[in-house]
Structures are given as C-alpha cells and as structure tokens.
Amino acid sequence: MSEGMAQRIRELRKAKKLTLEQVARVVGVEKSTVRKWETGMIASMRWDKIAALARALGTTPTYLMGSKTDAPPAQTPAAPVWEAQDELYTWEGDDAMTIGFIGTGHMGGALARAAAKAVSPGSIYLANRTAGKAQALAEELGAVAADNDSIAVECDYIFLGVKPQMMQGLLDSLRLLLAARKTPCVLVTMAAGLSVNAIREMSGLQLPVIRIMPNVACAVGQGLTLYACSSDVTVQQKQEFLRILSASGALEELDEHLIDAGSAVAGCGGAFACLFLEALADGAVTCGLPRDKAMRYAQQMLLGTAALAKETGAHPGAIKDSICSPGGTTIAGVRALEAGGFRSAAMEAVIAAYDRTLELKK
C-alpha cells in the first residue's frame, strides 16, 4: 500500500469524524487493521475490503487508490485496472479499460453485475435517468456512479441501455462529446430493432458499434448474449468486449440479419419460460402441493431437462417420448397441452416477438 493511500484513509476518516471502531465495524475488520491501513503497514488489500473501506469513508475505490487530483472526484474519477492474483488485486496504472453503462434497468443492471465479476468494479461507470438507481447499484458493486456526459468522455466501452424510442435523443445529447474524444470508444447497443447502421446514423459518427441481444439470466452467469460487430471493430476490441461479458454466460456472434430472430427466442423466450414455469407451479398447487415446493420442483425440472437436452444433444421430441409410457400419466398431460394448442401458442409467441421487432425498425 502506498503512503498516499494511507494518508487519504487518515484524512477522509478524520474529515468524516469517524472513529477507528466505526470504520472497522462497517468494513468488517479489527480496529488494529484499520490502524495498520492508516500507517501503511499492510502491503496489499483485497478488492472487497478496498470497496467496503471506500464506502465507509464516503468515496470511491478509484480515489482511495489515487487519482490525478488532490480532492475526491465528483463524478469522473480516473478508473484503475485490477487483476486477480492470489485473491489480491494490484494497481496497473491509468491505461485501464473503462466501461460505462447508460441505463441501469433490468438488462443494463444485469450486464453491469456480470461485468463487475469479470473486470475491476472500479473501472465500471454507471448512469441512469434516476440518479439514485445508478448510485445504489454502484454502491452494491463497488462501481462508480456517474452521468451520461462523464461516460461519453471517459469510457472505452459505452453500453447504451435505453429503449429504442429514446436512443436518438440520447445520442443527440452525446454527439459533441463523443466527436471531441481523442481516443476511440466502442458503442454497445442492446436496443431491440436498431441495427449497427441505425446506431451510426443516429450518432452521426463513424464509431465502432457492437449490437447485442442479451437476456436477464446474464445477471447470474447463465445468460446468452447474441452479438454482431460493425466492420471497424478490431480484434482487440472484440476480445475486450468478450472479456467484459465473460461472466454473463454464453456469447455467440451471429450474422446481424439473424439477430432479431435469435432474440425472439433467446431473449423474449425467458418471459415465455417464466409463464410456463408459473403455470406448472399453479397446476401443482391446485393438486394440493404447497406453493414453495411447487415452484422449486418446477424450476429444477426445467433446469434439469434443459441441461439434459443440451449435454446429450438429444432431440426434445425423443426425450419427451422417453418419458411418456403407454397409457401413463405423462402422455395424458401431453395430450391436454396439445388440445390447448400449447405447441402452436409457443410458436406464435416467438413469431409475434419477431414481428414486433420488425415494427420497431420502422
């Protein structure tokens, strides 16, 4: 630990009028450990302790480790890079890759959580129309709460997590800042129906663009993100992008003209699956099973069946046939689903989602 960091810890604690005991309680360490931090007697610190200490002192991990200014940064601290080594993190200087998320709703928040598991949380900037939402997520992850302008100026990868109808206004507001940058950035769009070329036209700039279609399971590392890159995205930029989302689950590059169809099942399909999951549990509750057990059994059944199909490569129809014995209970249930138009309804749901995506392009 540098003397500068130790000094900042001392100064911030005194400015906040906090005792050693108070800081130790918040961070979850002994009082003697805080005293050693303040005197520089500990050579290195775990990242989770740095983040917790920063929160206790009302600052950011970035400032605590050292910024180019003498005062705590208001909104645009320099972002460090940390690399895991024996559960410790080491400072790598100011050439860090920085990631910004504009919009921290369900999808933006899910991707930010995944990114925080793959790269230094201190290199992630979060902004949202409701600033408090970004602030809360930043505190949860140890990231930096910022604003749209700061992200446009500072970040190497800018995730645009706003609705399609809001995209033009957002890019209009950022155009001058993006155009004035001396270093290139990559725009990452997750807006349904907006192609790579559409984002470029809206921005009025020739910036590299990566179009992604993720799903909410990215938040727990089980997602699937389809992506397509503009022709000027470099190999290094693609590798860095894949690293950012490496903890989100599977990532698959797809020809852009297939992204909309892929998203209708890989993205929208999550809602369809939840509807089926809920209906299965409701049926079991009707039959007398307690709600918590009904939901847990349905969840595990879907999870296990999907894993079976994926790992064995068996056709779903073959798995279905193997479960259905002649005159048995399962085939009776399959018959009821067929009578209710289940198969057709599932197909129509995917097609309707795809058609709606095409409408959003107009």
Tens of pLDDT along 220-254? 899 999 999 999 999 999 999 999 999 999 999 99
Confidence of residue 95 (pLDDT cuts 50, 70, 90): very low
SS3 state of residue 87: coil
Please give the average per-residue pLDDT across 164-172, as a whole number: 95
- Where along the chain do its domains lie? 3-74, 99-256, 269-360
96 and 120 in contact (C-beta within 8 Å)?
Answer: yes
| DSSP letters spanning 116-182 | HHHS-GGGEEEE-SSHHHHHHHHHHHT-EE--HHHHHHH-SEEEE-S-HHHHHHHHHHHHHHHHT-S
Query: Which option is the CATH number for 269-360: 2.130.10.10, 3.40.50.300, 3.40.50.620, 1.10.3730.10?
Result: 1.10.3730.10
pLDDT computed for residue 93 by the predictor? 35
| Of residues 134, 116, 128, 148, the one with CA closest to residue 48 | 116
pTM, entire model: 0.70
SS3 state of residue 316: helix
186 and 241 in contact (C-beta within 8 Å)?
Answer: yes
Side chain identity at residue 180, one-letter code: A
C-alpha span between 326 and 154 (Å, rounded): 65
254 and 226 in contact (C-beta within 8 Å)?
Answer: yes
Q: pLDDT averaged over the chain?
A: 87
pLDDT computed for residue 299 by the predictor? 97
Query: Which option is the CATH number for 3-74: 3.40.30.10, 3.40.50.300, 1.10.260.40, 1.10.3720.10?
Result: 1.10.260.40
C-alpha span between 198 and 54 (Å, rounded): 41
Parallel/antiparallel/unpaired status of strands 157-160 and 186-189: parallel
pLDDT computed for residue 24 by the predictor? 79
C-alpha span between 157 and 96 (Å, rounded): 12
Q: List, for residues 210-224, the tens digit of each pLDDT value.
A: 999 999 899 889 999
pLDDT computed for residue 308 by the predictor? 95
Side chain identity at residue 270, one-letter code: G
63 and 21 in contact (C-beta within 8 Å)?
Answer: no
CB-facing half-sphere around the CA of 219: CA atoms within 13 A: 12
C-alpha span between 240 and 242 (Å, rounded): 5
| Of residues 141, 106, 137, the one with CA closest to residue 121 | 141
Write out the two tokens for 349: 């749901």
C-alpha span between 328 and 325 (Å, rounded): 5
Q: List, for residues 273-331, the tens digit of each pLDDT value.
A: 999 999 999 999 999 999 999 999 999 999 999 999 999 999 999 999 999 999 999 99
Q: CATH topology for 99-256?
A: Rossmann fold (3.40.50)
pLDDT computed for residue 10 by the predictor? 85
C-alpha span between 59 and 56 (Å, rounded): 8
pLDDT computed for residue 43 by the predictor? 61
C-alpha span between 134 and 143 (Å, rounded): 10
pLDDT computed for residue 65 by the predictor? 75
pLDDT at 64 over 80: no
Please give the average per-residue pLDDT across 109-115, as a whole number: 94
